[in-house]
Amino acid sequence: MSDLLLGARMAFSGGRDGWARALLTAFGVGIGVALLLLAAAVPAMLQGRQARGDARFDFRLGEQLPAAANTLLVAPFDTEFRDRPVRGRLVRPEGPQAPLPPGVSALPRDGEVVVSPALKELLDSPEGSLFAPRLGGAEVVGTIGPQGLPGPHELAFYLGSDTLGSDGSNRIDAFGGGPPSEEFGPTLILLVVIIFVVLLLPIAVFLGAAVRFGGEPRERRLAALRLIGADRRMTRRIAAGEAVVGALLGIVVGGLLFAVGRQLVPLVTLWDISVYAGDVRPSLPIVALIVVAVPVVAVVVSLIALRRVAIEPLGVTRRASTTRRRLWWRLIPPAIGLVLLEPLVSDVRAVGEALTRHQVAAGVVLLLIGAVTLLPWLVDLLVRRLGRGPVAWQLAIRRLQLDSATSARLVSGVAVAVAGTIGLQMLFTGVQRQYTTETGEDPTRATSYVRLFDIPEGSAAMNQLLAVPGVTGGTGTLWARIARDGSSPEAAPAGYLRIGDCRALAEYAELGRCADGDVFRSLGPPDDGPSIDAFVPGTRIAVGERAASWTLPADTRTVPARANPIGWKRSEILATPGAIEAGRIGPLSVETYLDFDRDDPDTLERLRNTAVQLTRTSWVGRLSATAQADRFVTIQRGLYVGVVVTLLLIGVSMLVGLLEQLRERRRLLAMLVAVGTRRATLAWSVFWQTVVPVLIGLTVAVAFGLALGSVLLRMVNMPISVSWPVIGMSTGLAAAAVLLVTGLGLPALWRLMNPVGLRAE
C-alpha cells in the first residue's frame, strides 16, 4: 500500500517535467474518457431527439375530424435555406382550445409567426432578408422552446394564417401520437454497431498509449529506486500506483472535458443535426464501468509495459530488442473474429437479435484487434530488412530497429481506424445501391426547377420567376389535366395538356419542325402515365379545372416524347401558345427549368421567395443526378466525422510520443548539429521514422479493411467489390494526420537542435 502511495507521489515528482508528464497523461486519458462518455451518451441523445420529433407529429391518420373548438388546421409549409431544411407549418386555430404545438406558448395569429431560435437568428442576420419574404412579412411574436425542437439549431416556424382552408391541410386536436418513428433496419443496426466498434477501438489504443506517456523517465526513476533497495515487486507496485494516479486524474479531466464539451455541443451543427446539451447524458452503468475500467486498464497496461523491460539497479535494459516477436498468438484474435463472423455471413436477418449483435461486435473487434497484434510483428520483420540508404533514412531505420514497439503501438491506432473505415465504407458503397436512387435528373440541362400548382396567372408567374435576379435563362410551360369532352378533368383526369413555346416544349418531346400555333401529341413509353391514344386529331377535349372545351387541331403531329430535365418522359398533348388561349382555361400549373450560376446560392433562395409568394404549394429544387436515403447519409457522415476525430486523437498521441522522444534525444540532436549535420537531414530522419511504420500500418489496415469489408458485404449478400476511392480517402486522411504530426513536431525539432542542448545532463 505504501508502495502504491509512493508511486502516486512519484507521478508528480521530477519538477516541471514531472508535472508536465502527469498532466499529459491526465489529458490524454481525459480525452479518451470524454469520448467514451460521449459515445455512451449517443443512445440517449438520439432518443431525446426522436422523442421530441415524435411529440410534434401533426398528421392525423384515419378519419377526418369535424371542426370544433379544440381543433387546429395545420398545413406543411416546408422549405429549405442554403441546403438546410426548414420545417414550416401554417396553422389556423378553429377554436379557443386549439392544441398548442410543443414549445409554443401561444398560437400565432394571421400575419404572425413563431420561429425557432435558430431561425430567429437567421432572420436577424444580414441574410435574413433572403428568407423573410417567405413568411410574407409576418411579425415574429415568439420563439419555439427546446421541448418543441429536436435540436437547438433546427430551422422551424409556425406561421399563422386566416385563409388556410381544410383542403391541403390537416385538422388535428392534439400534437404527437403518431406511429413511433421507423426503427433502424438490421443492416443499419449492423452498421451502427460496427461504427461504434471502429471508433472506440482506436480510442482504447489511444488510452493505452496515453497511460504510457513518459515511460522512459519513469523506468529510469524505478531503476534509481532499485538502486536504493526496492525489489521487483515493489517497483511493480510503485508503477501501478503511478498509473492509477494518472488514470484517476484522467477520469477527472475526462469528466470535466465532457461537462465542458457537453455545453459546447449545442454550438455545433453537423449536417442539419444539432443536439441539446441536456440530451448528452451517458447512462449510469456505463459511467460506472468507465470509472472502474480505465484505472484497471491503466494498471494492466503499465504492468505489461514493465514486463518488456528489466529494471535493474544499474538502469533499464530492454528485453524486447533481443527476443524475436512470435507470430502464432498474434494470429489468434483475427482467427477467432472470423470464426465468430462466419455463421452470420449467410444470414444478415439474424443481426437484429441482441445475441447476434454482440457476436457481430465481438467478431469485428477481434478482427480489428488482429491488426493491432500483428502490426508490431510486421514492423519488426520489415524494418529488419531495411537500412541501406541516405543518412536520414539510415538514422530512422536504425532507430526503428532498436525500438519499433513504441511506434508500432501508436500506429496500430491509425491502422485500426483506417481498417475499420475501409471495411465500413466498402459496406456503404455496396449497400448504397440499395439506398441511393438515381434521380434521373439531368443537371446539365438546367440548374433548378420550380413547380407551382394551380395558379391563376400562370404566364405572369413564369415571367416573374424568369425575372428573379440571378436567373440567366430557362424555359417554362403551363400544364393542366384534360379529359374527354363531357367529363371533368379534375375528377377523372385522362391526360395532360402542356402549353409552351417551341423552345420550352422541346424539353419534353423530339418536336422536329415547330412554329407558333402547332400542336403535338407526344408519345411516351406505354406503361408510363396515362395514354393519349384517345386524343386523336379533331377530338374535343375538356381542359383544366373549368373543363374549358378545346378541339385538337387536325394537323396535330405525333412525335416521340423526350425525358424532361428531371427525367420524366410521358405521353401528353403539347401546344404552342398560338394554338390555345391559356387565359381562358383557368388556374394552371407552372413548370419551369431555370439556369443560373450554380455557385451563387442566393439566386435559389430568391427563387424560393418568389415561388412562395406565388402559391403555398410550390416545389423549388436543384437538379442533381442522385439522391440518398437521409438516414444513410447521416450515418456515413457520422463515420467520417468520427474517423477524423479519431485520427486527430491518434495524431495527438503520436505527436506526444514524437516530442517525448525528441526531448530524450536532445543531447544527441545537439551533438549531431554541432558536428555539422544539416537540419534537413535530421528533419527527414524524423519524417521517415514516423512515416515508415505508418506506411506499414496502412498496408496492414488496407488488408484488414478489405477483409472486414468483404465479410460485411457477404453478410448482407452483396457482391464483393473494392472501392479504390474509399481506400484512397481513408489512407489519405491517415497520411494527412501523420504529415500534420511530423509538421507540428518540426518546430520542436528545430528548437532542440539548438547547441545549447549539448549541456543537457
Q: Minimal CA–CA distance to 8: which of 416, 299, 301, 312?
A: 299
Q: Which does 570 bind (CB under 5 to 8 A by kind): ligand ATP, another protein, none?
A: none
What grid cell was written down for 392?
A: 536520414
Residues 6+ apart with CB under 8 A from 137: 111
Q: Which does 395 bind (CB under 5 to 8 A by kind): another protein, ligand ATP, none?
A: another protein
Q: Which of residues 400-419 bind another protein (CB under 8 A)?
A: 401-402
The residue among 93 and 757 lying less far from ligand ATP, judged by its C-beta, is 757
Kind of pairing between the strands at 139-143 and 84-93: unpaired
List helix spans (H) across 628-753.
Answer: 630-664, 666-674, 679-715, 724-752
Counting DSSP H helices and E strands in the chain, the numbers are 18, 21
Instruction: Give me the least distance between CB of 319 and another protein, in Å please.
Output: 14
Going through 27-95 in order, the beta strands assigned E by DSSP cover 72-76, 79-81, 84-93
The residue among 15 and 62 lying less far from ligand ATP, judged by its C-beta, is 15
Size of site (CB under 8 A) for another protein: 26
Whole-angstrom distance, CA of residue 339 vs CA of residue 363:
8
Instruction: Give me the least distance between CB of 664 and ligand ATP, in Å please.
Output: 19
Which of 52, 218, 399, 521 contacts another protein by CB under 8 A?
399
Rg (CA), the chain: 34
Whole-angstrom distance, CA of residue 693 vs CA of residue 379:
6
Instruction: Give me the least distance between CB of 754 and ligand ATP, in Å please.
Output: 9
Instruction: Give me the least distance between CB of 666 and ligand ATP, in Å please.
Output: 12
Q: Which does 677 bind (CB under 5 to 8 A by kind): ligand ATP, another protein, none?
A: another protein
The residue among 15 and 66 lying less far from ligand ATP, judged by its C-beta, is 15
The single residue listed with the C-alpha cell 459546447 is 264
Of 128-136, 203-211, 578-586, 667-675, the window that binds another protein (rule: CB under 8 A) is 667-675
Of 111-119, 336-344, 397-405, 542-550, the window that binds another protein (rule: CB under 8 A) is 397-405
Which of 259, 674, 720, 736 contacts another protein by CB under 8 A?
674
Instruction: Give me the least distance between CB of 302 and another protein, in Å please.
Output: 24
- Residue 754 sits at φ, ψ, to 5 deg, of -70, 135
Instruction: Give me the least distance between CB of 666 and another protein, in Å please.
Output: 10
- 75 close to 616: Cβ distance less than 8 angstroms: yes
Q: Which does 398 bind (CB under 5 to 8 A by kind): another protein, ligand ATP, none?
A: another protein
Instruction: Give me the least distance between CB of 740 and ligand ATP, in Å please.
Output: 32
Which of 313, 756, 757, 760 contacts ligand ATP by CB under 6 A?
756
The residue among 16 and 513 lying less far from ligand ATP, judged by its C-beta, is 16
The residue among 327 and 756 lying less far from ligand ATP, judged by its C-beta, is 756
N-terminal to C-terminal alpha carbon distance within the chain: 33
Instruction: Give me the least distance between CB of 759 and another protein, in Å please.
Output: 8
Whole-angstrom distance, CA of residue 440 vs CA of residue 563:
9
Instruction: Give me the least distance between CB of 746 and another protein, in Å please.
Output: 16
Q: Which does 546 bind (CB under 5 to 8 A by kind): another protein, ligand ATP, none?
A: none
The residue among 392 and 504 lying less far from another protein, judged by its C-beta, is 392
Q: Which does 622 bind (CB under 5 to 8 A by kind): another protein, ligand ATP, none?
A: none
Q: Which does 82 bind (CB under 5 to 8 A by kind): ligand ATP, another protein, none?
A: none
- The total of other beta-carbon atoms located within 10 Å of residue 619's CB is 12
Q: Minimal CA–CA distance to 474: which of 603, 332, 360?
A: 603
Q: Which does 563 bind (CB under 5 to 8 A by kind): ligand ATP, another protein, none?
A: none
Instruction: Give me the least distance between CB of 309 and another protein, in Å please.
Output: 14
The residue among 578 and 755 lying less far from ligand ATP, judged by its C-beta, is 755
The residue among 17 and 516 lying less far from ligand ATP, judged by its C-beta, is 17
Residues 6+ apart with CB under 8 A from 96: 69
Residue nearest to ligand ATP (CB): 756
Size of site (CB under 6 A) for ligand ATP: 2
Instruction: Give me the least distance between CB of 689 and another protein, in Å please.
Output: 10
The residue among 339 and 402 lying less far from another protein, judged by its C-beta, is 402
Which of 233, 326, 385, 388 contacts another protein by CB under 8 A?
388
Residues 6+ apart with CB under 8 A from 362: 337, 340
- The total of other beta-carbon atoms located within 10 Å of residue 463's CB is 11
User: Which residues is 714 bridged to in the sheet?
Assistant: none
Q: Minimal CA–CA distance to 636: which of 190, 203, 192, 198?
A: 192
Q: Which of residues 728-757 bind another protein (CB under 8 A)?
A: 755-756
Instruction: Give me the least distance between CB of 388 and another protein, in Å please.
Output: 7
The residue among 464 and 681 lying less far from another protein, judged by its C-beta, is 681
The residue among 270 and 756 lying less far from ligand ATP, judged by its C-beta, is 756
What would the DSSP string read from start to end of 373-426? HHHHHHHHHHHHH---SSHHHHHHHHHHHH--HHHHHHHHHHHHHHHHHHHHHH
What grid cell was written down for 107?
A: 398560437
Whole-angstrom distance, CA of residue 621 vs CA of residue 625:
12
Please name the amino acid found at residue 315: G
Q: Which does 671 bind (CB under 5 to 8 A by kind): ligand ATP, another protein, none?
A: another protein
What grid cell was written down for 690?
A: 514516423
Kind of pairing between the strands at 170-172 and 572-575: unpaired
- 369 close to 337: Cβ distance less than 8 angstroms: yes
Instruction: Give me the least distance between CB of 219 and another protein, in Å please.
Output: 15
Which of 84, 220, 281, 398 contacts another protein by CB under 8 A?
398
- Residue 761 interacts with ligand ATP (CB under 6 A)? no
- Residue 759 interacts with ligand ATP (CB under 6 A)? yes
- 476 close to 504: Cβ distance less than 8 angstroms: yes
Kind of pairing between the strands at 557-560 and 519-523: parallel
Cα-based angle 394, 396, 399 (whole degrees, multiple of 5): 105
Whole-angstrom distance, CA of residue 359 vs CA of residue 346:
14
Going through 105-146 in order, the beta strands assigned E by DSSP cover 112-115, 139-143
- 668 close to 756: Cβ distance less than 8 angstroms: no
The residue among 180 and 747 lying less far from another protein, judged by its C-beta, is 747
The residue among 65 and 748 lying less far from ligand ATP, judged by its C-beta, is 748
Which of 50, 678, 720, 721 contacts another protein by CB under 8 A?
678
- 213 close to 381: Cβ distance less than 8 angstroms: no
Which of 432, 681, 699, 723 contacts another protein by CB under 8 A?
681
Torsion of CA 219, 221, 222, 225, to 10 degrees: 160
- Residue 674 interacts with ligand ATP (CB under 6 A)? no
User: Which residues is 172 bridged to in the sheet?
Assistant: 72
Binding site for another protein (CB under 8 A): 388, 390-391, 394-395, 398-399, 401-402, 667-668, 671-679, 681, 755-756, 758-759, 761
Binding site for ligand ATP (CB under 6 A): 756, 759
